[in-house]
Amino acid sequence: MTIHRIRQLGDPILRARCAPVQDAGSLAARIVVDDLQETLHDWQARHGFGRGIAAPQIGAPLRIIYLELERDVPWVLLNPEITDIGTDDFDVWDDCFSFQMLYVRVQRAYHIRVAWLDLEGLRHEQDFEGPAAELLQHEIDHLDGILAVDRPHGLDPFCFRDEWHRNHAHEGRCGQPHLREAVHLPMMHEYEIGPPRNMVDS
């Protein structure tokens, strides 16, 4: 097992769309999982926090996530995908190993269903809500080259870690769930028909 340098914001590997794992039991997949575990434990020992890590964060563009929702209880997800989302969203102050000093306010689905393969190649599907759902959305985003900084929500959505602890920690990282707002799509009659207003007859 190897402790890897965690790739930081600006590294192109974090923007790669990761390839699916073709053989769940392959030596290559198991090496990546072992290295993710070792790297997460090293991060936890040095910083005192951390629940999960995605393969591109150690430079491996594969669809693999390693989580520990409980300390030292490993959970490996190969080729995870969100198969359903609930009707509620909630605001989250999100952070990331790849930009350690920054918090970003994002909006996530409060309830999701996720399907994945384990290291034996068995398929699982399960519902998650709240902090677990938020973490899974964050890590699955990594596999598609999407970072929390791409999903800012609301006014003043960026905050340095020290300032967050000073000004927002008492509120907690997660807000209350609320019904997802409908996205307004313009109807045809809302579009202006005709030539641009600055066009003059010649």
Q: How many CB atoms lie within 10 A of CB 65?
A: 27
Q: Would you say residue 200 lies in a domain? A: no
Give the per-residue pLDDT at 200.
47
In angstroms, the CA 3 to CA 28 distance is: 16
Q: Would you say residue 5 lies in a domain? A: no
Q: Is 70 a catalytic residue?
A: no
In angstroms, the CA 85 to CA 188 distance is: 29
- Residues in the chain, pLDDT under 70: 183-202
Which residue from 8, 136, 17 is spatially nearest to 69, judged by alpha carbons?
A: 136
DSSP H or E stretch at residue 121: none
What total of structural domains would you count in the chain?
A: 1
Residue pointed to by tokens 């006014």: 155
Which residue from 199, 64, 92 is spatially nearest to 151, judged by alpha carbons?
A: 92
Distant-in-sequence, close-in-space partners of 28: CB < 8 Å, separation ≥ 6:
none
Instruction: Record the pTM.
Output: 0.88
Give the per-residue pLDDT at 188.
53
Strands 158-160 and 123-129: unpaired
Q: Would you say residue 3 lies in a domain? A: no
Q: Would you say residue 32 lies in a domain? A: yes
Which residue from 4, 66, 57 is spatially nearest to 29, judged by alpha carbons?
A: 66
Q: Would you say residue 143 lies in a domain? A: yes
Q: Would you say residue 122 lies in a domain? A: yes
Q: Is the dihedral of CA 178, 179, 182, 183 positive or negative?
A: positive
Q: Would you say residue 192 lies in a domain? A: no
Dump pLDDT digits (tens) for 60-111.
999 999 999 988 899 999 999 999 999 999 999 999 999 999 999 999 999 9
Give the per-residue pLDDT at 181.
86
Domain holding 171: CATH number? 3.90.45.10
Catalytic residue (choose from 139, 163, 171, 181): 139
Domain hosting residue 169, numbered range: 12-179
Strands (E), the chain: 52-54, 64-67, 75-85, 88-94, 102-109, 111-117, 123-129, 158-160, 178-179
